[in-house]
Structure 1
Amino acid sequence: MQSRTIAGLAREADVSVETVRYYQRRGLLKTPERPGSSGQNGGVRRYGDEDVRRLRFIRSAQAAGFTLEQIGELLALDATHDRSRALELARERLAALDAKIEELEKARAALRRLARECSSGSDDSCPILASFDDSSKSV
């Protein structure tokens, strides 16, 4: 049943109207026809339960870190039930997350080291500020 306006769709999916329009421009969400659109100010577009489901799918996939391009592919796979490609995309995303976690753990370790040096240092220079000020050194 097509009963929601774009504002209702956005509200139900907890996004802004502009986000809905952006996804429509990107081809992730269909733009329904205006009923009685013979004139410039035709009827109001209506959205249904499938639109809500799709919008929530997009948001959930984004929260998992998928790009909009990957989400478009996942949406297409959802229609074909291609589990092997969906699994491949998930594994790629997991590898990217693992790499990011490793990078963040290294940054945390470096910052902890700098904080220890800063708290135990007796001279006037702050190791934290010095490390960011010297572009030739890496943290």
Structure 2
Amino acid sequence: MNKASKSFTIGALAKSALVSVETIRFYQRKRLLAEPDRVYGSIRRYSEADVARVRFVKSAQRLGFSLNEVADLLRLEDSVHCEEASHLAEHKLASVREKLSDLKRMETVLSQLVNACHTHTGNVSCPLIASLQEADTGPHQGFQPTETGCQQRQVPERKPN
């Protein structure tokens, strides 16, 4: 590190990168950030490149990359490996799209169940609870749509003890 470049203590690094000191230490344990040598009376000094690296990790995490995937990206950060980095990003995009599809499907089912809960009447069990209790009846966990909403089951009468 040349004398013209700015150096940071671990606290200043954390503040500049908008993370906690513990996050910096965690990244070091995960080998996402190297521990610098101790200089200036046993105080570790970090560089502007370290700030950029921590920000890179946080940006990648916000895009949904796991720390293992971030480590792979960091190994590919030079322009020679752009195609490999692109492949990792394409894989992540496919994963995100799959999760979105799953979330949309969950939203549809939950919306139907909530609606069924608001419209059921009489001596029947709650459609939401009933659907969750029938674990092996398919992807909707017991939810059986009918023309009038949830198929409602009669609640068995409890006999006094």
Structure 2 length-normalised TM: 0.77
Counterpart of 1:8?
12
Counterpart of 1:26?
30
Note the residue ranges of structure 1 that are not aligned, 5 or more in a row: 37-41
> Residue 28 of structure 2 aligns to a residue in which SS?
helix
Shift in Å, 1:2: 4.6
Counterpart of 1:57?
56
Note the residue ranges of structure 2 that are not aligned, 5 or more in a row: 141-161
Shift in Å, 1:46: 0.8
The structure whose Rg is larger is 2
**Over the residues paired in the alignment, what is the CA RMSD in angstroms?**
1.5
> Residue 78 of structure 2 aligns to a residue in which SS?
helix
Aligned pair 1:108/2:107, yes or no? yes
Shift in Å, 1:110: 0.3
Counterpart of 2:133?
133
Shift in Å, 1:82: 1.0
Shift in Å, 1:68: 1.3
Counterpart mapping for 1:63-78 below 5 A: 63-78=62-77
Are 1:2 and 1:46, in contact at CA under 8 Å, matched by a contact in 2? no
CA distance in 1, matches of 2:134, 2:14: 47
- Which has more helix, going by share of residues? 1
CA distance in 2, matches of 1:2, 1:31: 17
Aligned pair 1:94/2:93, yes or no? yes
Are 1:9 and 1:52, in contact at CA under 8 Å, matched by a contact in 2? yes
**1:30 is matched by which residue type in structure 2?**
A
CA distance in 1, matches of 2:59, 2:38: 28
Q: Which has the higher contact order (CA 8 A, sep 6+)?
A: 1
CA distance in 2, matches of 1:93, 1:133: 34
- Percentage of identical aligned residues: 39
**1:134 is matched by which residue type in structure 2?**
E
Counterpart of 1:39?
none
Shift in Å, 1:129: 2.1
CA distance in 1, matches of 2:26, 2:80: 26
Counterpart of 2:121?
122
Structure 1 length-normalised TM: 0.88
CA distance in 1, matches of 2:109, 2:54: 40
